[in-house]
């Protein structure tokens, strides 16, 4: 009951809270609506006050007219005239009200008309020299351009040409008869205003700089075009053009700035040979530097008599290059094959004896094809841009194995020079009976104290583990790749089970003398497709022998 009562109290309190919140919201909304209503009523009263005042005045005038009617005719006439005058022309009357409303509207309409009229007019800046107008320009910057152009045109003058570059500007409305001129036209008019001898010609500009004028530009343009057409470069050449921008501008020029057309063509198509210093880069050679500057090797060696056959990065070399008055620029697209160096990693492996180091996977360099766009100026490379690059062969990482297989004979005198495919299986020991010997021995006996550790000679799978009734005693037989098997017999203990995967150097048993055995040793066999092979041909202990001998030598020196 207490739980039920608490629940009822909780829900009652919740409902009361919701009711209070709703009531508060609606009360605030009601107050807001009432406030808006009062504001609207006040605005209505303010906007209609003049109308109501006029209505009250009309009622008063009507009363006066009715009173006057009861009197004489003259009084009545005056009252009617007063009523009409007040109705139309009095304060709050029709004319008074219309004037108050129509005057702002008319003023606004007049302002819009003035703005529209003014915006439809075209204005210009009048430029005056020596008291007279020489032209109308759209903005003052046009004069700055014209002034700069005029200064260029008179820069080649030998005489002391003087022009007043301090004109007067005024803003005025442009009429239909006026014409807005540009900076070039203004420059012509400014020159015409001078006292110098002028002529109509074509100005020659290189990268915007004035170099002179000619009467006829056609022969000059033709000579420049023919030079480009006759240009030859080896390879896939594109975008042959002059490095510098050559422009011809028709206008008024000083007569003394005129150039002879033949001399102009000769100057623009001329070239000179100059000597400069080249700083050798990485990968440079005598041949590559000569090719870069289109030089003969004999001429290159004459300029650099102390140069050896090789070029070192940072070395200063004298070269000659041809520099044209107008250098020719062109682009050649080339493809280059480059090698990607492979990485070398080292890893520890039980496949190798301790101290052995061997390349397990040979590294192979990768290949990358890159397409370049090389920009030449007068036959000399100036820039190089990569268009695309793709790796056609990934590099192969070179893997170097560091031996960790620690089992080896007790004495360095036990030297086996086999392939090393299998590791020495016992931690110590020596060869007590070789393969075959004088009793058709099928394996290699490795004598060692009882309990000495025996390891798997290579990775493989255990196919037999335990007691053998054929004289091997406790035996482990492991299958390896390519049909090989190894056998470890006469163990005192077997530490693996059949079907177990083992790796080279893994502990599989302990030396013993079980089965047909006369002493503690490990009988080790190597079989290929079931046929016993000489284990010595597969064991290599030279690394251990060398390591032990080296350690002995160091101990002797100490």
What CATH number has the domain bearing residue 540?
2.70.70.10
Per-position DSSP letters for 70-139, written without gaps between them: TS-HHHHHHHHHHHHHHHHHSTTSHHHHHHHHHHHHHHHHHHHHHHHHHHTS-EEEEEEETTEEEEEESS
Residue 76 belongs to some domain of the structure: no
Domain boundary among 294, 311, 329: 329
Clarify whether residues 161 and 286 are in a common domain.
Answer: no
Clarify whether residues 429 and 549 are in a common domain.
Answer: yes
Clarify whether residues 469 and 542 are in a common domain.
Answer: yes
Q: How confident is the model at residue 294 (pLDDT cuts 50, 70, 90)?
A: confident
Q: Which pLDDT does position 547 carry in this prediction?
A: 43
Q: Which pLDDT does position 524 carry in this prediction?
A: 97
Q: Which pLDDT does position 548 carry in this prediction?
A: 43
Torsion angle in degrees (nearest 10) through CA of 505, 508, 509, 514: -120
The 3-state DSSP class for residue 156 equals coil
Residue 101 belongs to some domain of the structure: no
Clarify whether residues 413 and 546 are in a common domain.
Answer: yes
At 73-124, the pLDDT tens digits run 777 777 777 767 666 666 656 666 666 666 667 777 777 766 665 555 666 7
pTM above the 0.95 mark?
no
- For 544, half-sphere exposure in the C-beta direction (CA atoms, 13 angstrom radius) is 25
Q: Which pLDDT does position 116 carry in this prediction?
A: 66
Clarify whether residues 410 and 536 are in a common domain.
Answer: yes
* 474: number of Cβ within 10 Å: 20
From 35-49, 105-119, 287-301, the region with the lowest mean pLDDT: 105-119
Clarify whether residues 337 and 465 are in a common domain.
Answer: no
Question: What spatial distance separates the first Cα and last Cα of the chain, rounded to whole Å?
Answer: 98
- 170 vs 217, which has greater pLDDT? 217
Edge-to-edge strand list for the sheet holding 237-242 = 237-242, 328-340, 366-377, 380-393
Cβ–Cβ < 8 Å for 413, 392: no
Residue 363 belongs to some domain of the structure: yes
Torsion angle in degrees (nearest 10) through CA of 229, 231, 237, 239: -50
Q: How confident is the model at residue 557 (pLDDT cuts 50, 70, 90)?
A: very low
Domain of 338 in residue numbering reads as: 331-398
Q: Which pLDDT does position 254 carry in this prediction?
A: 85
Clarify whether residues 411 and 518 are in a common domain.
Answer: yes
Residue 364 belongs to some domain of the structure: yes
Clarify whether residues 370 and 472 are in a common domain.
Answer: no
Q: What is the mean pLDDT of residues 357-365?
A: 91
- If one counts the domains in the chain, the total is 4
The 3-state DSSP class for residue 23 equals helix
Clarify whether residues 262 and 335 are in a common domain.
Answer: no
Q: How confident is the model at residue 356 (pLDDT cuts 50, 70, 90)?
A: confident
pLDDT at 556 over 50: no
Q: Which pLDDT does position 1 carry in this prediction?
A: 67
Residue 17 belongs to some domain of the structure: no
Q: Which of 33-37, 64-68, 456-460 has the highest mean pLDDT?
A: 456-460
pLDDT at 61 over 80: no
Counting residues of the chain whose pLDDT is more than 90, the rounded percentage is 35
- 546 vs 530, which has greater pLDDT? 530
At 251-278, the pLDDT tens digits run 888 888 899 999 999 999 998 888 888 8
At 322-342, the pLDDT tens digits run 788 999 999 998 888 989 999
Instruction: Give how far the C-alpha of residue 549 lies from the chain's centroid of Cα atoms, to the nearest Å.
Output: 59
Average pLDDT of the chain?
82
Q: How confident is the model at residue 50 (pLDDT cuts 50, 70, 90)?
A: low
| Whole-angstrom distance, CA of residue 333 vs CA of residue 431 | 70
Give the CATH number, domain containing residue 369: 2.20.230.10
CA proximity to 370, closest of 351, 353, 385, 348? 385
| Whole-angstrom distance, CA of residue 50 vs CA of residue 37 | 21
Q: Which pLDDT does position 12 carry in this prediction?
A: 79
Q: Which pLDDT does position 114 carry in this prediction?
A: 63
Q: How confident is the model at residue 455 (pLDDT cuts 50, 70, 90)?
A: very high
Q: Which pLDDT does position 553 carry in this prediction?
A: 46
Cβ–Cβ < 8 Å for 462, 477: yes
| Whole-angstrom distance, CA of residue 194 vs CA of residue 334 | 57
Q: How confident is the model at residue 549 (pLDDT cuts 50, 70, 90)?
A: very low
Cβ–Cβ < 8 Å for 246, 224: yes
């Amino acid at each position: 009951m207490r739980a039920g009562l608490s629940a009822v109290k909780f829900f009652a309190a919740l409902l009361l809270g919701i009711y209070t919140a709703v009531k508060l919201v609606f009360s605030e909304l009601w107050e807001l609506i009432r406030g808006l209503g009062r504001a609207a009523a006040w605005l209505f009263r303010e906007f209609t006050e003049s109308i109501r005042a006029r209505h009250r005045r009309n009622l008063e005038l009507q009363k006066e007219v009715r009173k006057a009617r009861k009197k004489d005719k003259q009084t009545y006439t005056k009252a009617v005239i007063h009523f009409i005058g007040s109705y139309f022309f009095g304060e709050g009357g029709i004319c008074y009200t219309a004037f108050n409303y129509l005057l702002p509207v008319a003023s606004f309409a007049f302002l819009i008309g003035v703005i529209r009229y003014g915006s439809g007019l075209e204005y210009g800046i009048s430029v005056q020299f020596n008291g007279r107008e020489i032209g109308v320009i759209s903005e003052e910057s046009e004069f700055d351009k014209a002034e700069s152009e005029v200064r260029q045109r008179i820069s080649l003058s030998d005489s002391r040409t003087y022009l007043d570059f301090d004109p007067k500007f005024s803003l005025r409305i442009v009429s239909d008869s006026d014409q807005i001129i540009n900076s070039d036209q203004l420059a012509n008019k400014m020159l015409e205003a001078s006292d110098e001898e002028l002529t109509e010609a074509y100005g020659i500009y290189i990268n915007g700089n004035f170099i002179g004028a000619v009467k006829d530009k056609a022969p000059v343009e033709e000579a420049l075009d023919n030079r480009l057409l006759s240009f030859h470069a080896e390879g896939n050449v594109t975008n042959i053009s002059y490095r510098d921008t050559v422009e011809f501008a028709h206008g008024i020029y000083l007569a003394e700035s005129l150039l002879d057309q033949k001399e102009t063509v000769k100057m623009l198509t001329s070239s000179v040979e100059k000597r400069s210093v080249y700083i050798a880069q990485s990968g440079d050679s005598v041949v590559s530097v000569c090719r870069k500057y289109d030089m003969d090797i004999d001429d290159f060696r004459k300029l650099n008599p102390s140069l050896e056959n090789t070029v070192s990065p940072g070395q200063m070399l004298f070269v000659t290059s041809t520099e044209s008055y107008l250098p020719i620029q062109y682009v050649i697209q080339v493809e280059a094959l480059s090698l990607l160096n492979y990485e070398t990693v080292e890893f520890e492996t039980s496949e190798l004896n301790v101290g052995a180091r061997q390349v397990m996977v040979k590294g192979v360099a990768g290949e990358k094809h890159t397409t370049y766009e090389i920009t030449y100026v007068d036959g000399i490379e100036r820039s190089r841009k990569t268009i695309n690059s793709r790796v056609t062969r990934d590099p192969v990482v070179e893997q170097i194995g560091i031996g960790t297989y620690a089992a080896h004979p007790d004495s360095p005198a036990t030297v086996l020079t086999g392939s090393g495919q299998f590791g020495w299986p016992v931690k110590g020991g020596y060869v007590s009976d070789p393969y075959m010997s004088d009793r058709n021995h099928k394996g290699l006996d490795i004598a060692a104290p009882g309990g000495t550790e025996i390891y798997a000679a290579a990775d493989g799978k255990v196919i037999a583990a335990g007691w053998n009734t054929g004289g091997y005693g406790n035996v482990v037989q492991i299958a390896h790749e390519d049909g090989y098997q190894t056998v470890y017999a006469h163990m005192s203990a077997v530490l693996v089970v059949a079907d177990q995967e083992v790796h080279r150097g893994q502990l599989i048993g302990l030396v013993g003398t079980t089965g047909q055995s006369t002493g503690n040793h490990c009988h080790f066999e190597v079989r290929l497709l079931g046929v016993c092979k000489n284990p010595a041909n597969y064991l290599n202990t030279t690394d251990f022998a060398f390591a032990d001998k080296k350690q002995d030598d160091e101990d002797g020196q100490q």
